[in-house]
C-alpha cells in the first residue's frame, strides 16, 4: 500500500510541483498579509479619526469588500478589467491586489477596534504623570493596541492562507490546483492517489496554520490583561 504513495511522490516532478504550488500559496498570502498590515494600520487610524468623511469612506469600502465574494473580485479584476479597459494584469498581480484589498479592509477594522477599545483614561492617566504625546504612544497606547490587534492579525493570516485556493480560477497553479492535477493524471492507475495527495495537502496546511494559531494562543495567554 505504501508503494502506491511512494510511486506517486517519486514519479516525474510531482514532489517538486507540490512544493512549487506551496510556494505560490505562501507567496500570495504572505505578500498580501504584509501589504494589508502596512496599508491597514493608517487606514484604521483614519477610520477611528474625527474626520467624518474618512470614517464614512472606509466604512463603505469595508462593507463593499465584505459583501463581495473573493471569487467575484478575482474575476472582476482578471477578466473584466482586460475586456473593458484593456488592462492586462498578470494573474499573480491580480491575486495579490484582490487579497490586499480584502486584507486592508479587515486590518483597518481591526486597528479601529483596537484603538477605540482603549479607555480614554489611559491617555489621561499618562498625561497626568507628565508623559509627552510620543512617550504616551510608545509606552502605553501602542503596547496595548498591539496586544489587542495580534490575535486578529493572526486570524487574518490563516484565513488568507486558506482562501488562496480561489486563485486557481484565474489559472494560478497553487498548492490545491497542483494536487488536483496530480490526482487527475495518476488517479486512473492508482486508486489511492487522491487519498495520498490530498492527505499530504491536508498535512501541509495543518503544518503551516497550526503553529500560527498555537503562537497566537500563547501570546494571548502571556498578554492577557
Using CB under 8 A as the criterion, which residues of the chain lie in contact with other proteins when the complex forms? 119, 121-122, 124-132, 135, 139-140, 143-144, 147, 223-225
CB of 212 to other proteins, least distance (A): 23
CB of 131 to other proteins, least distance (A): 6
CB of 152 to other proteins, least distance (A): 17
Helix count and strand count (H, E) for the chain = 11, 0
Q: Which residues contact 205 (CB under 8 A, 6 or more apart)?
A: 161, 162, 175
Output 35 or 145, the one with its CB closest to other proteins. 145
CB of 45 to other proteins, least distance (A): 20
Output 88 or 125, the one with its CB closest to other proteins. 125
Output 84 or 129, the one with its CB closest to other proteins. 129
Compute the distance between CA of residue 158 and CA of residue 188 in angstroms, rounded to an integer.
34
For every residue of 154-222, DSSP letters joined together read HHHHHHHHHHGGGGGGGT---HHHHHHHHHHHHTTT-TTHHHHHHHHHHHHHHHHHHHHHHHHHHHHHH
Are 220 and 151 in contact by the 8 Å Cβ rule? The answer is yes
Compute the distance between CA of residue 16 and CA of residue 98 in angstroms, rounded to an integer.
27
CB of 44 to other proteins, least distance (A): 20
Long-range contacts of 75-83 (CB under 8 A, 24+ apart): 75/169, 75/170, 78/170
Residue 219, all three cell numbers = 501570546
Output 1 or 128, the one with its CB closest to other proteins. 128
Judged on CB neighbours under 10 Å (0-12, 13-18, 19+), 186 is buried
Output 69 or 134, the one with its CB closest to other proteins. 134
Output 67 or 129, the one with its CB closest to other proteins. 129
CB of 225 to other proteins, least distance (A): 4
Closest among 218, 219, 178 to 201, alpha carbons compared: 178
Amino acid at each position: 500500500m505504501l508503494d502506491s504513495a511512494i510511486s506517486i511522490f517519486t514519479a516525474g516532478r510531482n514532489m517538486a510541483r507540490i512544493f512549487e504550488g506551496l510556494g505560490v500559496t505562501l507567496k500570495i498570502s504572505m505578500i498580501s498579509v504584509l501589504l494589508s498590515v502596512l496599508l491597514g494600520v493608517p487606514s484604521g487610524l483614519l477610520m477611528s479619526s474625527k474626520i467624518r468623511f474618512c470614517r464614512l469612506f472606509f466604512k463603505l469600502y469595508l462593507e463593499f469588500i465584505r459583501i463581495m465574494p473573493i471569487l467575484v473580485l478575482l474575476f472582476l479584476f482578471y477578466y473584466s478589467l482586460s475586456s473593458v479597459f484593456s488592462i492586462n494584469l498578470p494573474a499573480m498581480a491580480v491575486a495579490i491586489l484582490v487579497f490586499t484589498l480584502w486584507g486592508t479592509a479587515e486590518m483597518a477594522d481591526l486597528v479601529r477596534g483596537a484603538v477605540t477599545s482603549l479607555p480614554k483614561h489611559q491617555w489621561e492617566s499618562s498625561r497626568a504623570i507628565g508623559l509627552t504625546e510620543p512617550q504616551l504612544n510608545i509606552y502605553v497606547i501602542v503596547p496595548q493596541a498591539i496586544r489587542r490587534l495580534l490575535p486578529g492579525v493572526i486570524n487574518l493570516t490563516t484565513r488568507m492562507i486558506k482562501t488562496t485556493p480561489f486563485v486557481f480560477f484565474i489559472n494560478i497553479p497553487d498548492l490545491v490546483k497542483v494536487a488536483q492535477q496530480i490526482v487527475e493524471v495518476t488517479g486512473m492507475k492508482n486508486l489511492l492517489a487522491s487519498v495520498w495527495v490530498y492527505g499530504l495537502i491536508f498535512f501541509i496546511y495543518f503544518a503551516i496554520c497550526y503553529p500560527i494559531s498555537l503562537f497566537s494562543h500563547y501570546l494571548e495567554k502571556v498578554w492577557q490583561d
